[in-house]
Amino acid sequence: MRWQGQELGVTDAAALPGLEQLNGLVRSVTTPEFADVTFHEVMCRSALNHVPSASAMPFDWTVNPYRGCSHACAYCFARGTHEYLELDAGRDFDSQIIVKINVAEVLEKELRRGSWAREPVMLGTNTDPYQRAEGRYRLMPAIVGALAESGTPFSILTKGTLLRRDLPLLREAAASVDVSLAMSIAVFDDELQKLLEPGTPSAAARLETVRAATEAGFRVTVFLMPILPHLTDSIAALDHALTQIAQAGAVRVVFGALHLRPGAKQWFMQWLGERHPELVSSYLGLYPGAAANAPKPYRTWLAKRVRPLLRVHGLDGRAEEDAPRRSPMPGLAARPQFVTTSRGREAEAARLF
């Protein structure tokens, strides 16, 4: 494992946040409630992660209390991040979970810095903050409390129904800061969902969470992503999905075709070969070589199929790629429009706060 063999007390600048030093590892834990899952508890040195400027994401800051994810989605784009730890992007990503047990305390300190400009923070764009581990470690309540107390707006994207546990706290936070909630639901066929996302709650359970969040006063976005060629892109499947989403009370949908980034691509193609070998040649045609995105003609065809259905169901919606790179996306924390440089950020922060 990557942290083994590091020199005690010496920072590794290339390490993932929270794993820079050997003495950050507290213990590794296995429990009967989480069969075949090992939790590696670490003491992190940082909680706020700055998104690289080259990223297409519309936000600048994230908090990731966990690395790896027991949701075990075959297509998860974050799988490649585990390889730096000398863990594989497949089974290890699903079962070797890094837990930053002091993340809330570190976050509180970082938010108290005079340089912190209360820019929006995103949770859930790398690994899910409400995966099953959260039921054991309960890191999110203190994270939410720290963000709200500091006046920092934030958003959460999750597949986890544990979000319902924290709705009273999130509603309280929303009284003082902007809070956006989004639920990711890619597959509405129960059999396919269990094969493709074996560790996730069912679509029905996630829809109930959307309904509960709506009743708590939130305008919830559903990410209908990824849409999988030949598996979930038929008119019947899309219509069924949007019917369920509308009935649950969501106000908008963001949709997009499957991405297959390095790490995820190998694992997904292995899954496809085992479960749907008849589709392997089609996927190799859509995602040849190192290609991570479905071809533009397919994405255009998909959008023409989805948009009329959005109108039928009275849902606001957009394709993932509709807006320019790094522009705001519904349901995700968006950077303030005034932020252009670090100097500009500090000047505007001084004026506002």
List Cα–Cα distances, 78 to 180, 216, 233, 260, 274, in angstroms. 22, 31, 23, 10, 22
CB atoms within 10 A of CB 26: 13
Name residue, tokens 């849409």. Answer: 227
The closest alpha carbon to 177, from 154, 146, 145, 143, belongs to 154
Is pLDDT larger for residue 252 or for residue 331? 252
Structure confidence at residue 80 (pLDDT): 81
Q: Is 106 left (phi over 0), alpha (psi -120 to 50) or beta?
A: alpha
What dihedral angle (degrees, nearest 10) is formed by the CA atoms of 98, 100, 101, 103? -160
Tell me the percentage of the chain whose pLDDT exceeds 90.
70
Query: For the whole model, what pTM was predicted?
Result: 0.85
- The answer to whether the CB of 316 falls within 8 A of the CB of 322 is no
In this model, does residue 11 exceed pLDDT 50?
no
pLDDT of residue 339: 41
Q: 322-337: per-residue pLDDT in tens?
A: 765 555 666 676 666 5
90 pLDDT band, cuts 50/70/90, is confident
Reported as a single tens digit per residue, the pLDDT across 153-205 is 999 999 999 999 999 999 999 999 999 999 999 999 999 999 999 999 999 99
